[in-house]
Copies of this chain bind each other. A is one copy, B any other.
Amino acid sequence: MSDTPSKPSLRLSQFLPYRLSVLSNTVSRNIADLYDRAFGLSIWQWRVMAVLGENSGITATEIGQVTAMDKVAVSRAVSGLLDSGHIARRASKEDARRAILTLTAKGKEVYDQIVPIALAAERDLVETLSGEEQAQLASLMEKLARAAEPDRPLW
């Protein structure tokens, strides 16, 4: 008698896209809670501030490119941060469509406070990994990111 061709089977709990999604949602929820409780910031608002902290005086569009946020998400985050006084906006002299964004003094202060918190949260996450494992992780994620989005910009 012939072999039954074994049907390809799917074990959800071992399915990479599923595991990635559950892991990422858990991590994001933890971190979002942290930012929200301590400073009333959404994760999107924090990302905008993080980019401005690294690289002040850029535009909403540039922030979108760096953070992989779409322009509506950036616009909303920016609007909230303007209201709360964490960032300031002025029109570009060369191109009146563009708005140059910068952290305010208050924004810088908050930024300086959050950075160590964010880094500590990351450390909590990876501290059980050896240095070699951490390097592997970074490399594997880079490869996956490239496979998932072939025309992704390198960083």
Contact = CB atoms under 8 A, between A and B. Distances in A.
Nearest to A11: B54
Contacts of A26: 145, 148-149
> This chain: how many copies in the complex?
2
Contacts of A20: 20, 23-24, 27-28, 141
Interface in A69-128: 112, 115-116, 118-119, 121-122, 124-128
Q: Binding site of A, secondary structure by majority: helix, strand, loop or mixed?
A: helix
A18 interface: yes
B30 A148 contact: yes
Contacts of A18: 47
A118 B115 CA distance: 38
Interface in A128-155: 128-129, 133, 136-138, 140-141, 143-149, 155
A7 B125 contact: no
